[in-house]
Structure formats: C-alpha cells, structure tokens
Structure 1
C-alpha cells in the first residue's frame, strides 16, 4: 500500500516536546492518514500498470484531481464536525488542529501520485531528493517551533511545511523533465482509464482503509483506553522503527515495483526478482534488528532522554513485528501487480480485527504492554501470511483474471 512521506527524527525534539504533546500530534496524524486513503481513490497504484506512459500520466492526473475534490469535501466535514470528532477521539483540545487535516490529505494525495509516476519512470533520484527535503524541512520547522515554545501545534505545522516543500520539489522536477508529455493530457482519457481500473477504488479504498486504520489504531486506542502519554511513547517508537522502512526498505520496494511490474507484464511471473529482493531485505535486516532488540530501552534513554525509556521498552516488544514488516511490506505490491485486490482486502480485514482485539485484551488486564505484545504477535502472524501469498503471486501461481 501507499506510504506516508517519511518523517525525520531528532533527539532534540524529544527534549522540546513532552510525550503527551507527541501523543496529541499522533492523534492528528492518525486522522489525516486514515482520511488520506479516500482522496486518490487508490488510482495512483494503477500508474505502474499501463504499457504506455501517456496512459499512466493520465491516471496520475486523475488521482491528483480526485485529491483536490475530495479534500475540499473533507474541509466541509471538518468545518461542521471538528468538535464532535475531537471529543470522540478523547481529546477535545484537538479540535482546532483538525481544520488542517484536509491540507494534509491533499498534500499526501498529490505527493503519492507524483511518487508513483516517478517510480514508473525509474527516477529514483527525484524520490530521494523529495524525501530528503521533506525530512529536513519538517525537522527544522518542528525544532524552531519547539524552541519558540509553541507546543504540540509546532509538530503539526512542521509536518505540513515538510509536505508542502517535498510535493513542490517533486512536482518541479517532474515538470522540468516531462512537461512535453504533460501537455498531452486530456480529461476524457482520464475518465476512460478511471472506468478501466475501477477495481482500484472499488476494492482498495476499503482494503487500504483497513490497513491504515490498523496502523493508526494503536495510537487511537492507546489514547482512548489508556492515556495520551502512552500514545506519545508509541509514536516515538513507531517513528524510530519506521526509519529503516522509509530509507532502505522503501528504496528497495521502489526498485522492486518497477522491475517486477515489467517482468510480470511480459512473463506473467517475477520469481527471480522477488527472490533477489527478499534475500537483500533479509541480509540487510537480520543483524541490526537482533542487536536493536537487546539494546532498545537503553538506546532510547540515551538518545532521547530518560523520560523516553518506556518508548524503548515498547520498541523491544515490537521488534519482531518490525523485522517481518521490513522484509514483507516492500514485496506486498505483488497484490497490486497481480490485480488480486480481493485477497488484499480479506487480509486487511483480518488484520484490523486482530489489532482491535489486541488492545481491548490489554485493556482487560489494564496493561498497555500486554496489549502491545498481543498486537506485535498478531502482526507477525499476518505478515507471515502476507509473505507466503505474495510469493505465490510472484511465481505466477494465481494469474490475474
């Protein structure tokens, strides 16, 4: 599935913002990321499929147009329902921030569309530049706001600043190199392609909605069932452990999608590319994740301050899950390449059910660490199933129908 733009991590931030402030920022981002699943209709995932670049570009334009339209609708919803939504999330003080959610969803939708177009064109330098700009600018803005004492609103403002700059830079690079093709865009062609690839919004909005909800549910449920501080600890843990996914697994996943899509179109399978990428991911990850498991609590206390040691204990619990995610997530694009959206949807539904059950089980014992342990085990099970199914798709066991 599509991923959010990676977020920079700075130990200085954890000394400028409290766990509770991180928790509130996490609630904002949870709402924005769940809402962002709607805005493109998941059409950006179809950009890799057409044989002709002209058709792929029309799909990218379709996804961006939908991002603008649906984000405008979300703005109307927030204008009327911001306070009730904030109360439902268990933090009434969150209401003023929710007005920025449509801006975040718009920027995420635009960026993802441009990202997949660059991925199709094998323009990995563009992607690296935009990710670096996003991470650096977001961190600088959040640091500046933290020193100014702006509170958790500085985290939100910094995130949006990073999104604006990353999207602008990527758009500028694409226009400079592809403006001739862009001038050939015709709205009616985009409409025709929207009908051709209707299975993407038909199945993947729901499937990826479940996936994103599963990813954000820990923050929402930790805040609702335990407290905002626990959500803050989890947020830092999640950001630290997502770094290798964004920097390494994300880059390998970009290459895999491009190479596998070409091989699958020609041969109906991409076994060799799948196995090569799997071996790379395994060899890169096994030693670092093993070491991290044993040193996580002390490492977090040393890097981020003693008040964040609990986040390191969370990280220790979640390491097996992160290890399997690192290996399987870049390869899960096989579901899209093989057009097996129904299988992906079933997997997402099962995952969400397990995630919710995990945290309510922990709430029964009044212990968030028990909840996180069950949560990590549930994810390990589902990532194992994901890896097996994606491999069967890669070897052509289930051809697209």
Structure 2
C-alpha cells in the first residue's frame, strides 16, 4: 500500500513537473531513486540479508524517496498555488470535470498491461518454452530502444500539447512530433526486417536464429506502435479517455484472436504474422485518428511517411542486393549498421531537437545503469 500511494504521488508530481517544463528535476529525481534503491540493495547484500523482502523493501524505499524529494522541490516553487487556490468547491468541481480520467484511464492501463502479457501466456499455452523465449528476446530487442526514445518524446510532447491546445497550435505540435517519430523509427525497423535473423545469429548465436525471424516479422508492427504510443497521450489532453479505452479493447481482442489462430494452426510464425498485421492496422489507424483529431491534414500524414520511406529505399536496396548475392552475414550486418549510423548522423545534424532528445536518452541510460 505504501508503494502504491508513493507511486501515485510521484505520477501526479511527474505530470505537474512535465507541465511546468521541469525536465531536469525529473531526471535528477529518477537518478536519486536508482541510487537509493541500489544502495539499499547493496547494503542488504553486504549485511547478508538477501531475502526477497529486503529487495522489495529497497524498491519501496526508492519509490518513497523520489516521491518525497520531488514533492519537497515542487512545494518550494509551486506550494503557493495550492495554498492560495485550493478549496473544497474547486476540488469537487475539478473532480466532476475530470471524472473520466480515473474512470477510463485506470481500466485502460490495466487492459494495456494484460495485453502486453497476453502473447507470452498464449504462446506458452500452445507452444514450447523455446518459442516463448524467442518471442521474449525478439520483442525486448525491438521495444527497449524504442521505449526509451518514445518515453522521452512523450514526456515533452504532453507538456507542449497541453499548451498548444490553449494557444490553438495543436496541429503543428502533433505534426512535429509525428515527423520526428517517423524519422527515428522507420529506417532502423525496416532495416531489421531484412537483417534481423543474421543480426541475432551474430550477437546471440545460431540457436537464437528463430528469435531473429520473429524480430523480422514484428519490426513493422513495432514501428506503428512506436508512433502511436507517445501520441496517445493526446487523449488526456483532449479529454477523450473513452476513445483511448476503446482502442485498448480492440488491441486486446485482436492480439487474442491472432495468437489464438496461430495456436490452432500449430504455427507460431503464422500467429505472430497475424499479430503483426492486425497490430499494424490497429496502431496505424490509432495514429491516424489521433493526428486528424488534432487537425493534421490527411495529405501531410502520408507525405511524411513517403518522404522517410524514400530515404530508406537506397539503403534497403543496397542491403537487399547484398543479401541476394549471399555475402557473409558479418558483411551484411556491418553494412547495415554503417548505413544506420550514417542515417542517424544525418537526421541529428539536421534537427536540433533530435540532438537534445538523444542527450536525454543517454542521461536515462546512465541513470538506469546505476541500478
């Protein structure tokens, strides 16, 4: 209960500090959480208290400490707002106006969590543990870097979208975020559809080749998920939590049916292919619906996609031709990696905000490495 309460306080403070552009403070707070948690775990290990309760207690201590630290800092510069503006009438009015937030967001978050666990559960029900392991490794490789980048974008996007809604410039902010998401996601994920298997064989060994195949199957699905995830915070800005909840129901249903069909057919690849195809349509439509609701023109949405696809085509042709000529997988993956690095250098050099984004991602990686 204490951890749940502290985490709830932290989430509220996190939204407030994002809204007031205190991103540096948030980075420091998360770093402090890592230090406290790791320090407590290390201290318990040295003292010989290695039971599970100690690990849980360390985690709770980290959550409580970050909530206290962030709460103290927030009170120092914004406490007057609460002291001067808080009253029961305003609290009740605010609760009535924003009642959809807990009503739909709580169930959406729960269903979203179940949806992410569903593939492992269904795959383990129909297939061997090896298949589950291949899927787990493949999705981890796909989602980990995309989650780091996407969460960094989402944090800034939420704050800017809230301001833009008031200023009447929401369409420009949404289009800008969408353009950068496509720039960051399309090239590397399309490249993985070509070299995924070879990459996994080189990095993890021949026994993990099937995980590379799963990665190839799921790469395009990951691209559309990567776009829609940060943009979906717009449902809160526009107070359309009910629409967001409906999408989570559709996502859960399509995943269940796709993987269930693969299980009935006794073919994991077919199940994952159906999973990927249905996800492309659902997440693609979700992204499209979010942007059009913000006023982004249809034509502009497709122009951005096509422009970034044309940037990938030359690199894709080079790697595709090398693959047809059966060159060594080391050369194939090496050329792919070089092309990816050149592409990233190009887009970062062309966009100051992307440079700032990558700086933030590196800070988060450094903070996580302390844990």
Q: What is the TM-score normalised by the length of structure 2?
A: 0.65
Deviation at 1:344, TM superposition (A): 1.8
Q: Any stretches of 5+ residues in structure 1 without a counterpart? A: 1-70, 73-102, 146-152
Higher helix share: 2
Aligned position for 1:233: 134
Residue aligned with 2:266, SS: coil
CA distance in 1, matches of 2:219, 2:37: 26
Residue deviations 1:317-372 (CA, integer Å, cap 9, x gap): 11001111122221122222111222222222222111110111011111222211
Deviation at 1:163, TM superposition (A): 7.3
Residue deviations 1:4-47 (CA, integer Å, cap 9, x gap): xxxxxxxxxxxxxxxxxxxxxxxxxxxxxxxxxxxxxxxxxxxx
- Structure 1 residue 357 corresponds to structure 2 residue 257: yes
Aligned position for 1:330: 230
The 3 A distance-change label for structure 1 pair 235 and 142 is: farther
The 3 A distance-change label for structure 1 pair 309 and 172 is: farther
Contact 2:172 2:296 in 1 (8 A): no
Contact 1:335 1:341 in 2 (8 A): yes
CA RMSD of aligned residues (A): 3.8
Deviation at 1:260, TM superposition (A): 1.0
Residue aligned with 2:275, SS: helix
Aligned position for 2:72: 175
- Structure 1 residue 128 corresponds to structure 2 residue 27: yes
Residue aligned with 1:296, SS: helix
Where do 1:171-320 residues align within 5 Å?
A: 171-179=68-76, 181-182=78-79, 184=82, 188=88, 190=91, 192-267=93-168, 270-304=170-204, 306-320=206-220
Contact 2:29 2:69 in 1 (8 A): no
CA distance in 2, matches of 1:128, 1:174: 14
The answer to which of 293-302 and 359-368 deviates more is 293-302
The answer to which of 207-216 and 344-353 deviates more is 207-216
CA distance in 2, matches of 1:175, 1:319: 43
The 3 A distance-change label for structure 1 pair 177 and 106 is: closer
The 3 A distance-change label for structure 1 pair 264 and 332 is: same
- Structure 1 residue 376 corresponds to structure 2 residue 306: no
Contact 1:274 1:394 in 2 (8 A): yes
The 3 A distance-change label for structure 1 pair 164 and 141 is: closer
CA distance in 1, matches of 2:34, 2:213: 25
The 3 A distance-change label for structure 1 pair 180 and 282 is: closer
Aligned position for 1:118: 17
